[in-house]
Structure 1
């Protein structure tokens, strides 16, 4: 059994055969987090992985199915941290996933410099608007806007935490690509792989996946695009596989 608070619900992660606690008023993960979890390089047998801005733990949960390494999630909002902790316990993953309630900007001092093989992050996407233009829901405002951390904070801290030769993977908006590359190079991270995600054929990309290597050499690869919906406004086969795995056939039966 799992304790649910308020409007929380226990959702399936079908492709991973896991469950996760979500709340429409506090936090529910988006496709962006799932795409990042599948895009990021993962050491299979061992390694130390860190996920910043971890929310309700969606990325550590999915990564646990791709690696036997130790995974740490960092979340500043106590309510989201608590949701993640309960989800990890429900899935019996306490031996693999550790959660920290704290500010990512403090993590290099708290966890140590150059300790991680991979750092992932699904950060707030938008610059902080005037208070009157922010989402009145504090949980959602902090998750979406650079209120408690900026893009530079995320990249600087990720660079400090990752080993030399280690990898940093982010999901963001395509409009921030120039800023991301500028900040990566400023903080000794060389962009190596980029993949754009499009809502459907003929539309502009609305999601950016990017991975860089600490002190890497310049050799950027542009991966094939990902399309979310087909012309019938149904998930493409690629997205169905990411979300449902082999269970998509059972759902259609």
Structure 2
């Protein structure tokens, strides 16, 4: 019997529209959203990068970039999500490409080597615990900084990356000022910034950032906004390409 057939209660299998690749998720835990998919497609990869995914959840980013990286380490604090991530690696026959480690990246030496990575992905909790209506359980930890703050995340990335390594992050535009300061404190410089707008006439609700460790602060590229839906409410051509949909 395949792993796909051996689903546990509250689990479902979703198609990633990537060469038959699939992902198992739990309906009572935080499921990945467009944020993670957009982040996975933001940095350019050559196939030689050693990649780290901080807070991998069920492992969606590693599954999406596995064909374009040398090796990926996926770190997850939530034991339920970490177990699912490991199962998803096996389900997609990627055990030679992706290593899942359960643990708290606020203690980086316990999980990964210093300066060992070329690229770090981070889709961190967006909101401080003092803001917003606090949801409960796993969803709260995914949306709010209950276990790791912005500074914790940037510090872990800095520890993991070699000089000249890149951090790719998705976050809220309203926290750009804080993010730039947190990056500067860990010797990062923002080199690419792209806002994500729900529609062309709406303000951005997400942003994609690529920062380089040890780089000069000059030379940031502010890229054209990524528009999610057109005037009729349909996905734009770029979003459809990202999702692997036929044009």
TM-score range, shorter chain: over 0.9
Partner Cα separation in structure 1 for residue 144 and residue 197 of structure 2: 22
Partner of 2:209: 210
C-alpha deviations, 1:131-166, integer Å up to 9, x for none?
Answer: x94212x11011111000000100111011100011
Q: Are the counterparts in 1 of residues 25 and 58 from structure 2 also a CA contact under 8 Å?
A: yes
**CA positional deviation for 1:16:** 4.7
**CA positional deviation for 1:109:** 4.5
TM-score scaled by length of structure 1: 0.92
Partner of 1:221: 221
Is 2:39 the partner of 1:40?
no
Q: Are the counterparts in 2 of residues 190 and 216 from structure 1 also a CA contact under 8 Å?
A: yes
Partner of 1:25: 28
C-alpha deviations, 1:51-81, integer Å up to 9, x for none?
Answer: 00111100111011322x1101000000000
Is 2:103 the partner of 1:87?
no
Partner of 1:115: 116
Partner of 1:103: 104
What is the SS of the residue equivalent to 2:162?
Answer: strand
- Structure 1: 5+ residue stretches without partners: none
Q: Are the counterparts in 2 of residues 50 and 73 from structure 1 also a CA contact under 8 Å?
A: yes
Partner of 1:171: 170
Partner Cα separation in structure 2 for residue 174 and residue 87 of structure 1: 31
List aligned pairs for 1:234-253, cutoff 5 A: 234-243=234-243, 245=244, 247-249=245-247
**CA positional deviation for 1:38:** 0.3
**CA positional deviation for 1:219:** 1.1
**CA positional deviation for 1:105:** 1.1
TM-score scaled by length of structure 2: 0.94
Is 2:73 the partner of 1:72?
yes
**Which structure: greater helix fraction?**
1
Partner Cα separation in structure 1 for residue 98 and residue 241 of structure 2: 25
Q: Are the counterparts in 2 of residues 55 and 80 from structure 1 also a CA contact under 8 Å?
A: yes
What is the SS of the residue equivalent to 1:65?
Answer: helix
- Structure 2: 5+ residue stretches without partners: none
Partner Cα separation in structure 1 for residue 7 and residue 130 of structure 2: 33
Q: Are the counterparts in 2 of residues 41 and 167 from structure 1 also a CA contact under 8 Å?
A: no
* Greater displacement, 3-12 / 170-179: 3-12
- Moved segments of 4+, more than 4 Å: none
